[in-house]
Structure 1
């Protein structure tokens, strides 16, 4: 199939970052972090305020989350062999019969390009993209010593080389070059995957200097410790600061984190500038999403290996042709819904049988969202939320613990209502919803909800 460049088939610049909390964007109400480029996308596009990942069966939440985005399927279908022990690589092998989003667009005539982090298997990478520069195959690395290869070097089995510069500059620079030099005889899909703001959080000095750690407020739900064993208090991410968590130490972590975000915000801005300079902005959809969030002191945790809102909710913005401007869409959704949404916006038919749903109509009227969203972590945490009420179930050490939060009255999840007699019926109802979600998604790792007495 051949597609000519034109408004009916927009270009798609898909930017995915690593560890960005949903609240850490200035235009969405954060008083400290400086994100002028993302603020501009919020103003000219639609922000999905309740985008919730489906979680992970492994500590490296990024790999399955990206697999869900790529395949348009849930966490148990996006992995060819879901398992609790992925081995030392921590990558997810996509099913060989899964048609990835770039693969579908490529078959429809799109020019496909990739740069940045690829945390899934190489065969899926090679079948999805025609072109690629400065690709990092892995989970995390030093931002000033990134091992990268171009797509052709990967095809030929060449060893990685150290990229020239800081990670976000390397990857966004490759995207700039692609956008500037492409032939423009057909629409493009560019997957630009940044490793920022993942640790090691070492922003360039200019961007770190924008934040005085002593003046940075802590999250409202900051705690020095978690308060109980959630099953994953010893994971690597939870060892990045001494225990109990010190307010002063956490402010330094937040200053580094915000510096990373401000830096990659500026790098993305340079890619958008090239779109404008080359006359391609009008016909380009820009997508910004994170693979997951991060605790960073919330609930006494540091990492993403939990099911609280700072970790499972992600920023998700779409801006460009046919997208309502300055819109906040509150419909419940998973980021994997981007697959069907982008196919509809691109005028391309999505493959049958996907878990992904199109949210094009929801961008206009908030209708058509999911009735609930669920998420998993390993084989000992499960979550379900209907948008207001949220239940988290823990299975640790042979027992079970339940938390219930009112996300409307208590968006920071500070007050656990599970033990309140007035909420007993609600807990039972949410347990039933969670069990139904398990059945629908094929979750066989947690057992029957309610089989252990709280």
Structure 2
């Protein structure tokens, strides 16, 4: 336990939260910690320098990792949309699993107005709520938060010059640092800097107020167009970038799984990919992450200056990961770990410092965790689980992790293996993720794997029923 920030063990916090639901009249604002939620977009789990990738400079995220507990296997369930951000964020704010979130997606504003929305629960619990940055939900952010500025409906604007690049001959019409291409530079100030600017102002406001605060600080970074000042790009010379071990020029089932040349994300680089092209995209990816990290540092400094750091919980995660050249893919519309697994760090009073929890969770578990901290009884429709029991040493409530993309991909992940199903390709792929974490060796056609293949397929169908997933995978069922 971190002696610098520890006040009570997490078990004590949970016990109090349960008791407070029974004795709600006794709850005062002093019992409720401040909550800061810092949200990245498209950030793969293996992009934190001090945790798992020394090639990326992230000193401020490294600081969070040292101060708090990292969930090393945090996942997004997938998406009903090519814009995976939409599904992830609707799940997060509604608390519902993917297909149940899809069912209410078009009614999100009604859900919010009737109180079934993350920020509405926080407001009802007495929190002053703040938001800035990427939203990508159908609920009205201006109404969802007490204070909301520069709400970004989706990704920054793009230009055709930013696609199918660089060319095979090395030529490139686009620059990540030139403001003439708009995107993050629209408005005159880089959007990551805008998030930091508003965040600092929010903490200045909150410092003089008595009620607890909930801040939803959502970066667009490192989503494409991956733009940052030239000094950050220069930190990552292309010839110093390591091509991913699981690089492929083309993914063999790209078309059948919805990741062919027509998908916007995949058009960012030419088909087939080359190591140089992938390394250029990874250069820009690392640069915008490092730039965002500097802005996160400003946010952390503002928390300290507010005078309220000792009673503040910080949650950092991303809405999903990104391939950036792994498996021949550029985007996130796939079920490999690089695209569904995200960084997730929790810092707060009583949270162990420098600890890593490897058992699996979903990133959306942050939502019910904050409700428990705020002494809000878990609503019946919220399907994700509080992380507080796991922070106190209890096992994950999830024994098998589910994944889905449109009606084109399904997956199930256990502690040791992952099964991916491609119904339109008529293909199952099986990986021993304990021995093969890069998911490079498909075991599905190995006769020795047949019993495991059959078992995991049956478990996947069971998960589908639990998730209200009506996609019929019967044609893929392994023969006896």
Question: TM-score, normalising length from structure 2?
Answer: 0.84
CA RMSD, aligned part only? Answer: 2.2
Maintained 8 Å contact 2:191/2:220: yes
Equivalence for 2:405: 377
**SS of aligned partner of 1:391:** strand
Select which of 189, 199, 202 maps to 1:175: 199
Distance in 1 between residues matched to 2:378 and 2:157, nearest whole Å: 34
| Structure 1 residues 411 and 181, CA gap change in structure 2 (3 angstroms) | same
Worse-matched range after superposition: 216-225 or 288-297: 216-225
Equivalence for 2:68: 45
Superimposed CA distance per residue, residues 414-434 of structure 1 (whole angstroms, 9 cap, x where no aligned partner): 101111111101111111111
Tell me whether 1:189 sits opposite 2:205 in the alignment: no
**SS of aligned partner of 1:338:** helix
Select which of 409, 415, 419 maps to 2:445: 419
- Shift, 1:127, TM fit: 4.2
Equivalence for 1:295: 323
Maintained 8 Å contact 2:426/2:476: no
Tell me whether 1:63 sits opposite 2:77 in the alignment: no
Higher helix share: 2
Maintained 8 Å contact 1:341/1:360: yes
Maintained 8 Å contact 1:168/1:267: yes
Equivalence for 1:133: 149
- Shift, 1:298, TM fit: 0.5
Distance in 1 between residues matched to 2:328 and 2:306, nearest whole Å: 47
Equivalence for 1:265: 293
| Structure 1 residues 53 and 139, CA gap change in structure 2 (3 angstroms) | same
Worse-matched range after superposition: 220-229 or 168-177: 220-229
Shift >3 Å, 4+ stretches: 1-6, 91-95, 142-148, 448-454
Equivalence for 1:216: 241
Maintained 8 Å contact 1:117/1:193: yes
| Structure 1 residues 175 and 92, CA gap change in structure 2 (3 angstroms) | farther
Maintained 8 Å contact 1:329/1:366: no
- Shift, 1:292, TM fit: 0.6
Distance in 2 between residues matched to 1:77 and 1:197, nearest whole Å: 28
- Shift, 1:126, TM fit: 4.0
Maintained 8 Å contact 1:104/1:350: no
Q: State how many pairs are aligned.
A: 428
Equivalence for 2:129: 112
Larger RCO (CA within 8 A; separation ≥ 6):
2
Tell me whether 1:335 sits opposite 2:360 in the alignment: no
| Structure 1 residues 334 and 95, CA gap change in structure 2 (3 angstroms) | farther
**SS of aligned partner of 2:100:** coil
Superimposed CA distance per residue, residues 161-183 of structure 1 (whole angstroms, 9 cap, x where no aligned partner): x6440010011211110111223
Worse-matched range after superposition: 341-350 or 103-112: 341-350
Select which of 226, 251, 255 maps to 1:201: 226
Equivalence for 1:85: none
